[in-house]
A = this chain, B = another copy of it.
Amino acid sequence: MADVARAAGVSVMTVSYAFGQPARVSADAAAKVRRAAEQLGYPGPHPGARSLRRGSAGNLGVVLGEHLTYAFEDPQAARFLAGVAQVCADAGVGLVLVPVTGGAEDAVRVQQSAVDGFVVWTTADDDPVLDAVLATGHRSIVHGGTARAGLATLSIDDRAAARAIGLLAFRGAERPAVLSFPLDRSRQQGVVVGPDAGSATFPVTRNRLAGFRDAWEETGGSWSQVQVAVCAVNAGPGGESAVSALLATDVGVDTVAAMSDELALGALQASAAAGRSVPDALAVTGWDDTVAAAPAGLTTVRQDLRAQGVACAQAALGITELPRPEPPWEVVLRSTTRGA
């Protein structure tokens, strides 16, 4: 920058203003600076130096619970992130995806990210990365988290929504099952019968399990009858194999309440493969109302994850406050559940 100033015959501050606050310099000076910069191949202010002096980085950090590639492979994360990205584009702010691998180096990466705020996508309550985010002192929003000093959270009332759709799913059910996200960071797969919902450290999992339990008990059942199949990955094939396995057991299953449409669609495939009629022999519900839900006739919970991404990003950047009431949701009744 000093070189440019010399070449342009002005002071460094004039050059700095020419780049940072063009309105502050005369057209004449601006032209001289532009010419000199071009001639010298000066690429503009060094972002690190600017961030150091100004105190803000001009970036929003996004932290994903587990592997970074999930962001691009999990359709729910993708929709949420599309909203976050929209806000960043509008605000002219960069979007920094912080790679989280689950190891000790995560804290260092979070700390070293040059950002002004964080948006965290659903993770477990005991995830150390939350401490790392908190330690940076940046404004941070956790989607699908548990409120905690210094960390704001946003998500729909998962328990209420799970109860509402559970009441539909469990109509006429005798052998209900739940297709669940992981219970905790171990991401252990397998079938658990009537697990203690409260022990799940992923808040989304915990709240939805609690809501399903509410619904089943209101229907007159006992939670200890319910098989919960935990799927490590949120994708169709996992749901399909889990349901195929349940269908093949002695106990059997006649109802599957899934925590995502992806898992539910997998359940429908397993049902078709086993020659079960839907909804009579097997009722299925999903969650999120993705584009594939309507064609499949899937009864599901609709929520707008993209709008939630927008809200989280705006809050993390200090553009707006977090919306006061929880985001809206609704049950979409289609044909994969039994009639009243």
Residues in A lying within 8 Å of B, measured CB to CB: 41, 43-52, 57-59, 67-69, 71-73, 78-79, 81-82, 85-86, 88-89, 92-101, 105, 108-109, 111-114, 135-137
Contacts and interface: CB of A to CB of B under 8 A. Distances in A.
Contacts of A98: 94
A109 B88 CA distance: 11
Contacts of A68: 85-86, 88-89, 95
Contact of A52 (B43, B48, B111): B48
Contact of A89 (B49, B59, B101): B101
Nearest to A98: B94
A41 B73 CA distance: 36
A114 B114 contact: yes
A69 B86 contact: yes
A128 to B, nearest CB: 15
Given A59-B96, A78-B78, A89 B69 contact: yes
9 contacts: A47-B48, A48-B114, A57-B114, A72-B82, A72-B85, A89-B100, A94-B96, A94-B97, A94-B112
Contacts of A78: 72-73, 78
B92 A99 contact: yes
A65 to B, nearest CB: 13
Contact of A79 (B46, B72, B94, B108): B72
Contacts of A101: 89
A98 B97 CA distance: 11
